[in-house]
Structure 1
Amino acid sequence: MNYSKKCKNKWRFGSKWLAVALALLSVVAYSCDDESDSADDILVPSGLRYASVTEVYEGKGMESAQPVIFSDSQPIFEIAGGVAEDNGVYIEDVFTIKDSTGVIKLANDNELVAGLYKLDIKVTNKAGEGNFASAFELRILPSSIEGLQYAPFKQTIVRGVEGQKTTKPVFKGTKPATFSLIEESNFVIDAATGEISLPVDSDLEAGNYKLSVKVSNIAGDTEFSEVVMVNLETKPYSLVYTPQQYLDVQQKQAKKSAAPTVKGTGPFTYALKDNYGEFTIDENTGVISLPENHALEINDYPLTVVVTNTHGSVEFENAVSFQIVEIKAVLPSDLQYSTTSYIVNEGFAFESTQPTVVGTTPITYALVDDKGAFAIDAATGVISLAKDNTLAVGDYTLSVKATNVKGEVTFADVITVTIQVATPEVVFEDGWDALSAVTGEKNLGNMKEVSLETDPVQASNNKWNYGWGNWGVKDANNESARGAIMIPKKSVNDDWLYAENIDLTNYINSQLDFAAYSKYGTDANNTLELVISENFAGNVETATWINLNFASVHNFAFSQARTIDLSAYDGKIVTIAFRHKSFLIPEDNGDPKNLSRTTYIQDFKVSGLRK
């Protein structure tokens, strides 16, 4: 744009009211409609003015107002340089300027310290450039401390170790700053860096300590409550055994200490520096043991215990001591077996209870007369018989001799063992002999039943159909007796008769004796199984069953006796069941006429030899 001299004079020498108006404008651009002037007539930028000195606290951001500039075309602003006074330190590129408006900005969290800052501004337009020294001034004031932070909040210091301290804290505010701890404390703080430590010779207990810090600078004091937690860890210390001395421990006598207490950062492990060849220590509890029959001479034995944790090992000299003295022996007395009478089957093994006795240990035991077969454990006093011994039937009374360092004592007739002829005992029997058919009752004694197919129905004469029930049967001598019968009535049936939880725990040579017979029906349509389970829990369908084979009892008019060897189940708890099934086969073409087999159980008994 060209300007005439007349127009230029208007710009330079306008009235006062025009000058005031111009001072209020952000950027003044002026043009006339006169004839064009040459480039030499264009005005370069002049009269740059910012508002009076701006103040801001250290670390805080600011934004200036738009300045006044005389320019007849769009001015372009830039920072040409700057200086700092009053202890300020100028840093390049911290201040920024918007080139189109001249607005100057300072970002939050900037690094400038307190002082007076002056910026040189260069303004350029189409006519050229103008340089304005110290055109903008900013006073940065000291800032109070804020945002003090130790990272992490919880920090570990190990007592007694050189160089242990927290990290330096970070904060906002005018530096330099000085640090101090608010409360009286065993900890110390570096006034210049804020690092917290503990004197090496401190005896402060291990634990967590929350500390409050005061930070001071030119702007004043600021307090930060519980700004850091110190997790104070230590090597082991203050090991204490109670009692510390174990006096009058007799030669060869066993002895144990109590578990000690120890302070510091756990977990701990324990060791003995010198065990004198006899002492041992539990590495986890610190309990010290001296075994029976130890070989220590009469003397005092102070022990140094070494306790270790993650921070190292500490020796505690004379932590505990044992005084070994001469044996003050007491003869064995009051020897007693809790059970004094035993009944044992001929040829069976036997073992007594362990006796109690008063007297100086160790005590050894011997039989006065072993009757040619008995033995006794010399250390425990347990009397025994071996399996397949040849002792004859009869009563055997035994006397025991107990010996210690003081001498020996004989205890006469302490137990009696009766050897008897091995006679099987009944462990389980059916229990229906004295029962009869009753309305609404199965009356199966100790046996139980369940029907998985057709529901049982009781006839008017109280006989049960489609399920097991009490009724008259024939015994092995073809005599009338009570028993259990199952009548399928030409229908599909799956019926169980079982003896639950037969306890063979204390028996050997166990066996099942039963008597049964069946009539009618074809083998292709009717079966009777004998099964056994070790995991029956009330539901026949979920238990595991194993077949017990037996000779058929079908097509007989009275009971046939059968014996089943159960020795494979000695020592166990079992359930034994009869399972009667009547079912159709393809050849029946749906005709149930062959589902007619009636089963009779007259006797059911389990026995064994008691161990």
Structure 2
Amino acid sequence: MKHTLHTLTSRFLGILWLVTSVCMFVSCSDDTDETGGNFKLYYPDMTDIGPSMTGVKIPAPSFQGGTPSEFEITAVTLNDESIENPCFVIDAETGEITINSTAETPVGEYKLTISCSVNGKYFTFKDIIKVTFLPRAPEGTVAEPNHILVMYSVVSDPNNITKLPTAQVKTAGEHVSITKYSIGTVTVNGEILDKPEEMFEVSSSGEISILKSERFERGVTYSISLKLETAATGDTPCIATDILAVEVASEPFSLEYPGYNAEEGWKMPNTSSDEGGSSFISEVPVFVGSTDGIKYWIEIDNEKGKDKILIDETTGIISVPQGHGFDIGDKFKISVFVANIYLPEGKRLTDVNLSITKFYKPLDDFTFYNDIEIEQTNEISLNPNDWSAAGYEDLTFSLLDTWGEILTLDPETFIITAPKDNTIAVGEYTVPFRVTNGDGTTKNYSFKLTVTENKQKLVWIKCGNNFGTGYEDDIYQNQFRFNKALDNDQSFTINTNLNGNSASITWSLSALKPSDKGIVCTIDNNKLKFSNTTNPDVTLTNSVHVIILTGTTTINGTQSSLSVPIFIHVNLEKNGYFVEFTPFAFRVNPQFGGTSVKPIFKKGNGDIITSSNVALEYRRSFNYYIWDGKNSITDDPQESGILKTLWGSSNPKSAKGPMAYFKTGITPLPDESLKQQIGYVDNSAGAGYSVKIFGEKWKTTTGEYLHGFVRGQMIFEETPDEKFNDSKTQVFPLMIWFDPDYYPVTE
């Protein structure tokens, strides 16, 4: 599949009108046109548009199932004959289609076949869109008059009794007999108007009327096209494009200068290095009202600004030429007046303020921080370059994105630091920061931070995963999923940053939390080994576990140790289904919260369920395992500990409490109630059943953030009903890893 916009050049003839109709087809596989499956795609209805128009859009489709991408037009037919794509362009990410018809696009019915990808699987929709190009109306088809002017105060008031003018469709000669009229496309400043029938109508005799409506806008012109049927064309319509223009006249109504901040006003320095001193020019204002006979003028409250602060009478642009002689601290209130032919005396539409400030050297491409390279976990200290020597004054700095949490920027010295034993991973990073000038203007910059491998201490431990290829990133590390009892022991090598170093590492494991549910983990030399339990009292059961792996070594007389969690998911088929989050360890900072990946739902035969009508919800049996960051992991008392405090009057052992999405059955909690939760499985449209964790809510009574692991039982139904809460498809598919020191790098 291609990942760009797809189009081919037109090679046809004709002057046309375009009508789009929509069909819905059930998805099918990429190599068959047979309908079937659960994923469905819907393209919306579209208003008629005129001939030879470019840039007309069929909006992006809605869908039932997973989120689609990689859209492509795979086939086009004209009157059921395959042709090259003449004028259709599809956005590969959204599925929006642009039609660039020309005078050479041939008449007929086009059918478009669309393909897309959902969760790595491709679907094809044969003839999902039909586009019919129709001929232009006979020459000489006109409206008399072809231009109508109405006042906004009349046409926008349904209660106004003033009668509005009409126009009559006429044809040249007697050889054309029109048998049917209907409103086609109406455009406003080139954009298609939605539901034009609410504002215009045409009678069976061809009289075009204007319907009073609050939808009318001031100072704009509506261009109306009619769809006609004639005795010669029969039931096949033709189009009279832009047959009538309706201008809505208005006195001056409002004026706004883009980018103007009412609290701060405009600021202009009193001088600059440019010859002649500083100057000022505003943006072109946005005016609402009729522009016929428009005229701008200003009044200034400070005599010093008269004849020096100017306004263009026709555009409204306000300017101050060089040589104004203003002083720092001068302030001007500028009242802007506008007149047009409907209000010749004009009126004041807005006030703007202009202040004269100290001149600051504009921010340019100065290098404020040099690039830096360090070994992982080593202390970082980065001094700014001498920007005062470069002519800058009163600068302030701030780190952007999550770097403000990862690094520290001193507000006085602007030195950027990170402590020893920081957790920035090996890699090359672009660290963004913002510089604010003394006059309030800002500019974003960045420097390169390169973190290299540290061979003097244990920094990271990675044992991989058993998800298959494509899961090498750190978020998938140290996670192992088993869908059945093991046929044989499975081993995974423990890798560290000291690989290749002669240092000897001693390994140990904490207790498994929760306790053994059928698969156990041990250490065999330098490997993790997973085996079936030897405990005769344990039956293999759906569960998710965590165990702490600790490595200890001594290099050059200095001992270092590092502990990491290892996650195990016993993912047995439950009532014919599997629920899989990948990764199933959801690491999140409780201060900020976050959203997990979207799960995949599978049937027992491995088929992926793509329906968006399933339901997934937390149910009960929540546990919290407290981690000290080292090799100790302890149980929080389920019915009297930290979780019980968070659950309030509910019990985390038997109730979902503050982790509920549904109130009863499949009726969601009201939005205001959901905002009060501490988290939930998001069943809303488009959320994909990801788990949402809210920040600043997972804390102890003393205000400490949780540091450890939380799991809870979920229930799932492919076709849920009001008895959903009693579902027997009960699984433990996710472990939430709360880490107050986790600040993922965003680039």
**TM-score bracket, shorter-length normalisation:** under 0.3
| Higher strand proportion | 1
TM-score, length of structure 2 as denominator length: 0.20
Task: Give the TM-score, by structure 1 length.
Answer: 0.23
Larger Rg: 1
